[in-house]
Structure 1
Amino acid sequence: MYLKNDRILTALSIMLDVAFHAGRSGVVSGADIARRSGLLRRGIEPVLQALSRAGLLDSVRGPKGGYRLGRSPRVVNLHEIVCAVGGREDTTPLQEKDSNPLQSLVISPLWAELNGGVKERLSGLTLADLLQQAEREGLERPRQVPICFSI
């Protein structure tokens, strides 16, 4: 079920945060993600791990470590993010067919149709689409300063 799932919303927020704030190195720290989202680091850690296991994020170790996108924002669709954190279509009927025909014959098919529409919409949107929306809303991405080496 897609509707109002905090884990899904957190995953979408994390992926957009990494895509939006990745500087020249492309790495965003988990602490910075947590601070910007107003969540605790330990609260988002399971979501970060799930996204990493799915190959949507790469974990970078070390003092300048953090997370970076596993693939280009143009090829990561939102449905993949939902699936990575456990969001799935619930294909089981709400109740047994004989116990409540209104639910099984009216509500369950309606819910399946709505769920299919949400899946289709999420499959058609990518992180790049969300980045474009952020720009249209006037949000400015961090500037990428050119690397300057001087002796």
Structure 2
Amino acid sequence: MTTNLYSEIHRVLRTDKPFLDLMGLADAKPAVLGKRIQKRAQPTGLALEGMPLVSFYAIPRGGADLNNYLVYNAIFMFDVYTNDDVSLALDISDRIVELFHGEINRFIGVENFETRLMAQHESTTDLQDSYCFTTTLHFAITLDDE
């Protein structure tokens, strides 16, 4: 369920041309995409020359829906890191919201309901001369009843 969701979010990001253009990854090889679009809370190789970088991860606040045991709520954080470029971080975050908020995404192996934006805010980063902006999205997915 959530593990498939990780894979599908990554697939959507690495195949969306406007997102890749904003990231400067239009012609990037898969190895580069993996370094700049990471499925983890603490990205590896965080350095100014490796930016922009997006890391996304599920937080523990999700879980089975209290009203419907066949629905799982997954809360994902999307951290956008840039080389102190606030406008670029906001543009990339806006594109992430465009891709997912209010959408019923066509995920492979994951049946989901509408995704919605929960919050956005600036986040701290330990890397000097960098900027991080965070977007929080709620994905409601269907659990298999079998």
Name the TM-score, length of structure 1 as normaliser.
0.28
If each structure's helix is expressed as a fraction of its own residues, which one has the higher value? Answer: 1
Q: Quick one: higher RCO (CA 8 Å, sep 6+), 1 or 2?
A: 1
More strand by share: 2
Structure with larger Rg? 1
